[in-house]
């Protein structure tokens, strides 16, 4: 008879996500993970296959929780500029927080994407979801006359996703929100 799993896998994935986010994939060993999660190596392998499997689960958890929450926040803005400003500023604050640990998705793509197509695909999915949500938001704003129609909403959305990626890489180099936040106003100028 197979043994039943004696730990909460969702909580384990969330804790692993925090550890990978803080230390990175390469600097996090299986020993680090088992100690941080309070599980045995056999349990980790039984639940996730290996370190890569747990890393993929952590990235997926990030995509379905924190990244999804950021997109939901777009609906809370009173106007398109406020919504995009709030999204970008909040991402900057996350990026510079915890001594500049950055954004997990950005860290993943910088560290793993060249050698790991699964990581690249997951981060691309996160970016595509952001681009789609921003495209819808920008299209509606253009139809209401809130923003200029000189740029296609899809192209503007792609610009903001690319801009955000650059900001998040910059937050690793200069983890100072006061330095990065003024750049948001420059980017918002593309809506005029």
Q: What is the pLDDT of residues 83-138, one digit of tens each?
A: 999 999 999 999 898 878 889 999 999 998 778 899 999 999 999 999 999 999 99
On average, the pLDDT of the chain sits at 90
H runs (alpha helix) in 74-152: 80-100, 104-111, 117-143
**How high is the pLDDT of residue 29?**
96
H helix runs in the chain, sequence order: 9-23, 30-37, 41-48, 51-62, 68-72, 80-100, 104-111, 117-143, 153-173, 177-188
What span, in angstroms and rounded, lies between the C-alpha atoms of 155 and 24?
Answer: 32
Q: Can you read off the two tokens belonging to residue 110?
A: 């910088």
**CATH topology (fold) of 59-191:** Tetracycline Repressor; domain 2 (1.10.357)
pTM of the full predicted structure? Answer: 0.86
Q: What's the start-to-end Cα distance of the chain, in Å?
A: 66
pLDDT over 70 for what percent of the chain? Answer: 96
29 token code pair: 């060993």
pLDDT, position 1: 43
Phi-psi region of 145 (alpha: psi -120 to 50; beta: other; left: phi over 0): left
């Amino acid at each position: 008879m197979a043994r039943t799993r004696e730990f909460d896998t969702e909580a384990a994935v969330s804790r692993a996500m925090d550890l990978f986010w803080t230390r990175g994939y390469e600097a996090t060993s299986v020993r680090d993970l088992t100690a941080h999660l309070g599980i045995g190596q056999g349990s980790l392998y039984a639940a996730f296959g290996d370190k890569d499997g747990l890393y993929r689960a952590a990235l997926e958890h990030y995509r379905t929780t924190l990244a999804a929450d950021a997109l939901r926040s777009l609906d809370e803005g009173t106007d398109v500029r406020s919504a995009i400003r709030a999204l970008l500023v909040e991402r900057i604050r996350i990026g510079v927080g915890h001594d500049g640990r950055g954004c997990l998705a950005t860290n993943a793509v910088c560290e793993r994407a060249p050698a790991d197509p699964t990581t690249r695909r997951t981060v691309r999915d996160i970016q595509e979801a952001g681009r789609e949500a921003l495209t819808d938001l920008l299209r509606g704003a253009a139809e209401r006359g809130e923003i200029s129609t000189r740029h296609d909403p899809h192209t503007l959305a792609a610009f903001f996703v690319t801009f955000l990626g650059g900001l998040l890489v910059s937050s690793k180099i200069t983890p100072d929100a006061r330095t990065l936040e003024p750049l948001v106003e420059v980017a918002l100028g593309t809506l005029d």
